[in-house]
Amino acid sequence: MAVIRWILGTLILTLNWLFTPRGVKRSADAQIAMDEQTAKLALYHYRACPFCVKVRRAMKRQSLNIATRDVKRSEAAKEQLLSGGGNLKVPCLRIENEQGGVEWMYESADIINYLNSRFAAEQPAAVTASS
Ligand SMILES: N[C@@H](CCC(=O)N[C@@H](CS)C(=O)NCC(=O)O)C(=O)O
């Protein structure tokens, strides 16, 4: 079982590497502004989990520099996820709001929808600004 999981994980990571999406290009200022917003986010993930790969690809497409915390490799990250989110399940997006409140969002589809609705609208202006 562990061998099958390893083979599948390697396959997922290889395909992800071969078909890495291109990130949107922004002007330096627009990217800095974006980075300020995404500094309040962190993705708890496993490297080879297909749901996590899906979320990381969505981040890459939008050039969102969101910190990632590998729950399998870091005991601290695992503790944070368990005590904050309540479940040892990935992917999970930690969202800190302007008031310092924290939300833990599970489900890859919900995370991608959140990222798209919050950040995708900023793409056209940013692309125009850099071209
Ligand atoms: N429906 C969830 C599925 C997430 C899921 O099943 N994640 C697995 C890893 S691939 C998990 O965290 N399982 C619990 C565990 O490994 O402890 C999503 O789309 O995010």
The rounded distance, in Å, linking the Cα atoms of 81 and 104 is: 8
Kindly state if the Cβ of 51 falls inside 6 Å of ligand 1. yes
Nearest to 46 by CA among 111, 94, 91, 7: 91
pLDDT digits (tens, 9 = 90+) for 95-122: 999 999 999 999 999 999 999 999 986 5
Hey, which of 51, 73, 107, 108 would you mutate to test ligand 1's pocket, going by the most ligand atoms within 8 Å of its Cβ? 51
The rounded distance, in Å, linking the Cα atoms of 80 and 94 is: 10
The ligand 1 atom nearest the CA atom of 107: 20
Number of domains in the chain: 1
Q: What is the pTM of this model?
A: 0.89
The enclosing domain of 52 has a CATH number of 3.40.30.10
Residues spanned by the domain of 48: 2-130
Six-digit token pair at 95? 């969202």
Kindly state if the Cβ of 107 falls inside 6 Å of ligand 1. yes
Report the 10 Å Cβ neighbour count for 6: 11
Average pLDDT of the chain to the nearest whole number: 92
